[in-house]
Amino acid sequence: MSWWLDITDLDEDQKNVIDLPPTGDYLFLGPPGSGKTNLLLIRAEYLIRTKYPNLFVLMFNEPLHDFVVRGGVLYDVPAAKIRKMLSWELVLLRENGVLLKDLPEDDLDAKRKALAKKVLELLDTNPKLENHLECLLVDEVQDCFPEEVEVFFRCAKHVCFAGDNRQRIFSSHSVIPAIQERVKTIELKTHYRIGHEICRAADVVGEAAGFSSILDTCNYNDAESKVQFSCCSTDEEQINKIVEALTVQLTAYPDELLAVVGPRKRDRDFLREQLEASALAPLILPHRSSGSDDPNQRIYVAHLLEIKGLEFRTIHLALMQHIHRLRENQKRIAYTAITRAKTTVSVYFTGKIPGYLEQAQVAVEPPKPRPPLEDLFPKKKKGRK
């Protein structure tokens, strides 16, 4: 995360967010890299330092939670106030004697809905728990269920959400419009983290999903960015290329996180197994950990749903021939994955990738010559064989 160290690091829109009254309900919307998570943490510190310390900052999953806890110390937000959404609900229920034996464990969506339902039932039976917190600050709210959003509104006197519909990866249905009817919305237009070439590739994927452009609002001023696609003959060739690239990048980008990501859990497990058999094994972060006390461990291996909200200097998107298996959410997931990187995105595949990724490849590679018309017909193709 690009943590802010001084007020001069902020633009006017971001300063206006910090200057909002301490009471009120707010939603921060903005593209990747616009500072939404930073703003949540600064707002939390602002509330803590005024007269509203009874709050929690809720993160969507464990890797993002760990990532933010490490940065939260810069903003004087205690780690105990930064919680994973599900664990916060579980503690609330246990504190009030609610039994949790019947929760579904094999289906995360079902578990989330069941937990939210139990919290709402608790509030119904014990109205004194309504608004028992001063504020809940929730990141990545675009992927919350309506039941979870209702929990937030009922548990806290005030809420503060941050999100971006383009990065909604768990559901094809958005809660953002319903939230906007209940809060004041602040839109952040400019982003700073993502290089121009990466924005260009993301915009092609985003266009296929009906998103607005982020290239036009890019204010990136770091190292020149690049996006590269590698069609490999085998999955093992993908691994070899990734190891070769990481070996260089670990030296080129000291102290920064580098990611290797596959579409599914089985892809992640394959990537981890192969990388742990390489010379890079000591440099790989523990499973589902986005940080380490060992400064040498800087390679984060994950599947695409585990990089939500994170950022990396470079990202290697491997085994992308399988991304179509993510079905109706695949375009938003691909978009979110591409926009996790600051400087370099490398896409690896064996065989074919979906058309929207092929179009992104065309956008970032030198133009190819137009084929002669006669080459388009079967007789000519047979002759070439």
DSSP string spanning 179-214? HHTTSEEEE---B-SS-HHHHHHHHHHHHHTTPPPS
Structure confidence at residue 82 (pLDDT): 93
**Cβ atoms of 64 and 162 closer than 8 Å:** no
pLDDT at 150 over 90: yes
Structure confidence at residue 246 (pLDDT): 97
- Determine the residue type at 332: R
Mean of per-residue pLDDT scores for the chain: 90
User: Phi and psi (nearest 5°) for 99?
Assistant: -75, 140
**Average pLDDT of the residues in 228-250:** 97
* Interatomic CA distance for residues 358 and 141, integer angstroms: 30
pLDDT per residue as tens digits for the range 90-115: 999 999 999 888 888 888 889 999 99
pLDDT at 352 over 80: yes
* pLDDT level of residue 370 (50, 70, 90 thresholds): confident
pLDDT at 8 over 90: no
* pTM attached to this predicted model: 0.88
Higher pLDDT, 367 or 4: 367
pLDDT at 274 over 70: yes
Structure confidence at residue 2 (pLDDT): 65
Sheet containing 226-231: give its strands across: 226-231, 341-349, 312-317, 258-262, 299-303
pLDDT per residue as tens digits for the range 156-181: 999 999 999 989 988 778 999 999 99
